[in-house]
A and B are shown apart, each in its own frame.
Chain A
Amino acid sequence: MRSGVAIFPGSNCDRDIIVAIKKITPKAPLKLWHKDTEFPNLDLIVIPGGFSFGDYLRCGALAARSPIIRNIKNHVSRGGSLLGICNGFQILIETGILPGSLIRNKNLLFTCKETILEIQNTIKSPFTEGFQIGEQFKIPVAHNEGNYFAPKPLLEELNNEGRIAFKYVKGNNLDNNVSYNPNGSSNDIAGILSENGKVLGMMPHPERAINSLHGGTDGLRFLTKCIEHIVG
């Protein structure tokens, strides 16, 4: 699989996702700089977490207007897969590739916690088709603006079209360290898909759950299946 990781000034999870992808597939992802306007056709581009451009103006707003974004949009129209994690999700929202908005966490706290995600009944997507509906993952979040907000008609549309990839749920093994809906997001949304299912934006960090030392490997399980289905 040919993949690339888009890096902006202030991205800080780029190395982590590269390590995760290298665990799954032998070919290391290309590092794409935010000013890059030429790179080969790829199967997957990941926009990693971090604080691109210091979160100035709005999270992801300045990154979403970077030169690389045009190429990322071309990648999407070619049918390439695109994954935005945390700040990457915020950037995808700001580009308009994914709809809605990510606003300040309801409790006003930067929240860094393990969450339980549950796979929803979605449209055909490489990011969900390797899983059973209702399958759960323990993956951490770490953000200040992860509260997914959208007007009611859009929320209904996302729900009816099967574009809610996963929701925060209570889970079966709830202990005190595991929180349910960490940010107050509408309908407990943790990740959404584009109309063609090829773009996923998610607040939780799968690359932070790829080693038992992290407290779990559900992120690796998640990414492995995604990559298998992207390669086809």
Chain B
Amino acid sequence: MRAIVNISLKQGVLDPQGQAIQNSLSNLGFNNCNNVRTGKQIILDFQDNDEEQVFKETEKMCETLLVNTVIENYDIEIIKEI
């Protein structure tokens, strides 16, 4: 079973990388997009097949290490068949 953690910066937290990407996009002529925010994805594979258990454990991992909850939000996606 696989858990995918998507981490994004909270609204209001400066994302200079996103801004730099937007500048480059706009230099390339992509002018429709007016905001770019970056994030990261962490993929965790488990031997356990208990979805609830895996979700709970992943949540605990997020709170203790994977995510800085002062500035970041996260969501967890569970994929049963890898």
* Cβ of B67 to closest chain A Cβ, rounded Å: 9
Total residues of chain B contacting the partner, CB 8 A: 11
In the complex, the chain A residue whose C-beta lies closest to that of B12 is A151
Q: How far is the CB of B44 from chain A (nearest CB, A)?
A: 13
Residues on the B chain within 8 Å of A101, using CB = 68, 70-71
Q: Are B68 and A108 in contact, with the CB atoms below 8 A?
A: no
Taken together as a complex, chains A and B put the C-alpha atoms of A65 and B66 apart, in Å, by: 11
Distance between A46 CB and nearest chain B CB, rounded to angstroms? 23
Min CB gap B36→A, angstroms: 13
**Is B17 interfacial (CB 8 A cutoff)?**
yes
Q: Are B20 and A103 in contact (CB under 8 A)?
A: no
Is A147 touching B14 in the complex (CB atoms < 8 A)?
Answer: yes
Give chain B residues whose Cβ lies under 8 Å from the Cβ of A57.
65-66
Q: Is there contact, CB below 8 Å, between B20 and A65?
A: no
Find A105's partner among B13, B16, B64 (CB 8 Å cutoff): B16
Chain A, range 100-155, C-beta contacts under 8 Å to B: 100-101, 103-108, 147, 149-151
Answer yes or no: A94 CB below 8 A from chain B CBs. yes
Q: Known: A57-B65, A57-B66, A61-B65. Contact between A108 and B71, CB under 8 A?
A: no
Q: Is the CB of A150 within 8 A of B16?
A: no
Task: Quote the shortest CB–CB distance from A193 to chain B (angstroms).
Answer: 18
Q: Output the nearest chain B residue to A154 by Cβ-Cβ distance.
A: B70
Contacts of B17 on A, CB cut-off 8 Å?
A: 104, 108
Give complex CA distance A108, B15 in Å.
10
Q: Which residue of A lies closest to B70 (CB)?
A: A101
Known interface pairs A57-B66, A61-B68, A94-B68; A149-B13 also in contact (CB < 8 Å)? yes
Closest A residue by C-beta to B66:
A57
- 1/0 per residue, CB under 8 A from A, across B1-34: the answer is 0000000000001101100100000000000000
B65 touches A65 (CB 8 A): yes
B-chain residues with CB within 8 Å of residue A106 when the two chains form the complex: 14, 16
Residues on A with beta carbons closer than 8 Å to the beta carbon of B64: 65
Q: What chain A residues lie within 8 Å of B68 (beta carbons)?
A: 58, 61, 94, 101
A71-111 CB contacts (< 8 Å) to partner B? 94, 99-101, 103-108
- Name A residues whose Cβ lies closer than 8 Å to a Cβ of B: 57-58, 61, 65, 94, 99-101, 103-108, 147, 149-151, 184
